[in-house]
Structure 1
Amino acid sequence: MVGQMLNVLNEWIKGFGLMSEAWRAGILVFLLVFGTATTAFIVSRIVLALEKKFSKTDNLWDDVFLHAARRPLVAFVWVQGVFWAAEVAHHFSQADVFTYNGAFLQVGVVWVIVWFLFALVKQIEQILVSPLKMRKPMDYTTVNAISKLLRAVIIITAVLTALQTLGFSISGVLAFGGVGGIAVGFAAKDLLANFFGGFIIHLDRPFKVGDWVRSPDRNIEGTVEHIGWRLTTIRTFDHRPLYVPNSTFTTIAVENPSRMFHRRISETVGIRYADVRSMRAIVDDIRSMLENHEEIATDQTLIVNFLAFNASSLDIMVYTFTKTTQWVRYHQVKEDVLLKISEIIHNHGAEIAFPTRTLHLPDGVQVNEAVAAQAGEGEPTNGPGQENAQSAGAGEKS
């Protein structure tokens, strides 16, 4: 139909006998390009108006479809317009380049469809992970993996379709790919290992973007920023990016502290041997304090017991879990617990032990204070309060 209209217009211009064939071709091509630009502008305005109208509805998917289709539609108008212009030029010229107009149109349409599908996948991905648009947003890592897989399928299908359009045999291409794939597999085994490592990460999901991970086998610790098909980007706690090949995660153990339910407080507190009579009361008060602490998870293991006679102290084991898993808040709770334990020990007239040594001398032997100090034996033996401290030390060594 368009061709008939152009022939009529060409004959009408030719009837005036004022223009050469080259001028008539130029005018027709100009009119087609101008009409294409006008049509593309109108299509863009129409789609924008529809987007504004449907944005007021509760349905999100019509917005996604329109937003993904606007630019590909404009591109399709241009592809079709350029094809018609090339057909007009081919009518006036027998150049070989114009014999590929049909292939250009088909490849252009495939390209427009791929553009639309890519934009649609991206828009759907943003919708599914958005907490503002979804009541229960999906996990970003899972959605991102699915979208990457869909893009790969779209690209492979588009390439095969374009090759078939250009006259290549798909069966030959697939056969060549099967033979060449063996050679490529040997040459790029590390790349393939990383690819399948990334696939395993997306499948097993030992961690996701935003998780804090670390490995006891390697010096790897930080927050996951991106999981690619070849590399995983981890931001260490000194804010440096760490790029780890995905194949590494198939051979090492990985901890995911972000998925812990509680954080543990495990401390050993020692008191002096002189305070052994207060041990039971101190242990009971510490246990009671933890059981009534608002930040301690009482439904988890809670142990407060006299542990052992140590060399310089009587040890008390404190083992419990906090409700919070946040790193900063955990240390605030731990600080509060340790200070309260210190207060309990002090309230019972006891003291926290520190390493001491008791030296026993034969009767009648006197030690010069200046000589003892110069010899590095510590404080004077007969200083204020030293007699009791020396004799009541946590342990004795002769």
Structure 2
Amino acid sequence: MDRFLAWWRTSSEGLNWNWLEHIALLLAAAAFSWLVWKVVFGKLVSVSKTTKTQWDTIVLESVSVPISVLIWLWPSSYAIDSLLEVTSKASTDWFAISRRVMLFGVVLWILLRLVNKVEAYLMTSETRDQTTVSAMGHIFRLLLAVVGVLTALQEFGISLTGLLTFGGVGGLIVGLAAKDLLSNFFGGLMIYFDRPFSVGDWISSPDRNIEGTVERIGMRMTMLRSFESRPIYVPNSVFSSIVVQNPSRMQHRRINETFGLRYKDADKMAVVVADVKKMLEAHPDIEQRATMMVNFDAFAGSSLNFFIYTFTKTVNWAKYHEVKQDVMLKIVEIVHGHGADFAFPTRTVSFDNGDMAEANIPLPEQLNATPNQD
């Protein structure tokens, strides 16, 4: 504390204290400008709430905080510049550069907030692909960050030519050291551009033990949620070398089932098959434009088999099983309605008397005879 007081006495000797009035005027102007901005901003928000579009609200929310910060920082920088000039007698030319960087930083801040809010707004829309929206948000944020860093370096006098030359050599070294990271990054870009799946899709891979619902597609890895609610984190580079099935983009789901009637119901097979086909043709949840087959198929070991091959209109997994259950219950009603029934595994063995004698199998009367006591 003593050192500070000594420095202040030395620095303030012979000073013209008019700079205090300048600082006070600058801060008062900042306070007045901030109050005016708050009043104007409140009026603009009230007007935006009466419009049908959300874009004006998004723009206002993006600029509100950065402009408030700029209103205080801009005059404050002049006040600090004046204070340092009269106390330290040092050059304060770098303050002019700082103000330009600050102004550009506020503009960059506004653009970043605008990108984030537009992305959040578009993600709530059901008509837009969330994967594409997220990809464009990542790309715009990355571009703004690169432009901001390069502009700041140029303003402070750092040569971009030398930096880019060093970046070429350094980039080669970093690329060799972090090839897996880069492959995952470019794998994420390929997912964004090719769009084999989107957020919310259920995907699986026959090549790997990967199956679940896509929850997030990042720049390095994709997160899935399995049916056991376990998170699965897959590096994006994996998707460039495996086959991915996307059942969420199916047009229909297939019902392919076989039913067996008893052999003694052979005379009812034709009418059962015909009625089952009529039922499918009249069913509201069966796709009539897709392949539909109902045919007697095989003489099985214990049954006469017929099969159905058809498709549902829905691709929803739960709804599909409800439709399948309804179709199978209607088939049970049709079979029973014709006095037939379903077969189950049975085996019938028959003998005639001649075969039984040759096999030395005792006849029923021999089984009841009294054994000879002699």
Give the alignment's TM-score, normalised by structure 2.
0.85
For 1:65, the aligned partner's letter is: V
Question: What is the deviation of 1:185?
Answer: 0.7
Deviation at 1:335, TM superposition (A): 0.9
How many pairs are equivalent?
346
Query: Cα offset for 1:37?
Result: 4.0
**In the aligned structure 1, how far is the partner of 2:188 from the partner of 2:269?**
55
- What is the aligned-residue identity percentage? 44
Aligned partner of residue 177 in structure 1, secondary structure: helix
Which residue number corresponds to residue 262 of structure 1?
Answer: 252
Partner of 2:168: 178
Cα deviation for residue 183 of structure 1 reads 0.7
In structure 2, list runs of 5 or more residues that go unmatched.
Answer: 1-12, 365-374
Residue 234 (structure 2) aligns with: 244
Preserved contact between residue 86 and residue 98 of structure 1 (Cα < 8 Å): no
2:130 matched residue in structure 1: 140
What is the aligned partner in structure 2 of residue 332 from structure 1?
A: 322
Q: How far apart, in 2, do the equivalents of 1:112 and 1:122 lie? A: 15
1:177-230 deviation digits (Å, cap 9, x = unpaired): 111111111111111111111111110111111111111222222221111111
Structure 1 305/109 Cα, relative in aligned 2: closer, same or farther at 3 Å?
same
Q: Does 1:363 align with 2:353?
A: no
Residue deviations 1:126-183 (CA, integer Å, cap 9, x gap)? 444444xxxx842222122112111111111110000001110011111111111111
Q: How does 1:136-175 map to 2 (within 5 A)?
A: 137-175=127-165
Shift of 1:273: 1.9
Cα shift at 1:312: 2.1
CA contact (8 A) 1:213 1:222 kept: yes
The question of whether the paired residues in 1 share the 8 Å contact of 2:225 and 2:232 is answered with: yes
2:109 aligns with 115
Shifted more, 164-173 versus 35-44: the winner is: 35-44
Pairing 1:65–2:68 present? no
Q: 2:196 is matched with which residue: 191, 195, 206? A: 206
1:51 to 31, 45, 49: 45
Tell me how large the CA RMSD over aligned residues is. Answer: 2.5
CA displacement at 1:355 relative to structure 2: 1.5
- Give the aligned partner of residue 125 of structure 1: 119
Shift of 1:59: 4.7
TM-score (norm 1): 0.80
* Mapped pair 1:319 → 2:316: no
SS in 2 for 1:147: helix
Q: Is the 8 A contact 1:233 1:243 kept in 2?
A: yes
Aligned partner of 2:115: which letter? V
- Aligned-partner Cα distance in 1 for 2:96–2:363: 111
- Is 1:296 the counterpart of 2:311? The answer is no
Q: Find the partner of 1:75 among 61, 64, 69.
A: 69
Gaps of 5+ in 1: 1-18, 369-398
Change (3 A) 1:220 1:282: same
Deviations 1:46-94 (A, max 9, x none): 2232122133234543333222111111122222122111221123122
